[in-house]
Amino acid sequence: MNLFWKKFKCDKCKSKFSKYEDLINHARHEHHHEIIKCTECGKEFIYEADRLHHSRKEHEKKMFRRIHKYGDKHEKKSSSVQDNVDKYTGHFSDKL
């Protein structure tokens, strides 16, 4: 079993790399390929499609968790005595 197999391949010269970062460095220095950075975390990519995939996978999940984390806090909040009073007095004043 080869533990160090190289799964990242250069499209231009077919060189293979075990780390994505090594492929990026190769593309930048050997082929003068423009590198695209994520605006959120600064991670580098060779292709815009890879950056978009990363952004959807990593940053939208974080945003989704944040929204639901705070949403759950507000939904599970028990009503206070004042909330109950306001609820019933609103109906009371409508009948006058």
Residue 28 lies in a domain: no
Residue 23 has a CB neighbour count (10 Å cut-off) of: 21
User: Which DSSP category does 56 fall into?
Assistant: I
Residue 65, domain member (yes or no): yes
Residue with tokens 């003068």: 32
Would you call 17 helix, strand, or coil by DSSP? strand
The answer to whether the predicted template modeling score (pTM) of the entire model surpasses 0.75 is no
Residue 57 inside a domain? The answer is: yes
80 within domain boundaries: yes
The number of helix segments (H) and strand segments (E) in the chain equals 4, 4
Indicate whether 37 belongs to any domain.
no
Number of structural domains in the chain: 1
Q: Which helix (H) or strand (E) holds 25?
A: helix 20-30
pLDDT tens-digit map of 26-59:
999 999 888 999 988 999 998 899 898 998 888 8
- The mean pLDDT of 15-27, rounded to a whole number, is 92
Residue 69 lies in a domain: yes
- Residues belonging to the chain: 96
Range of the domain at 70: 49-96
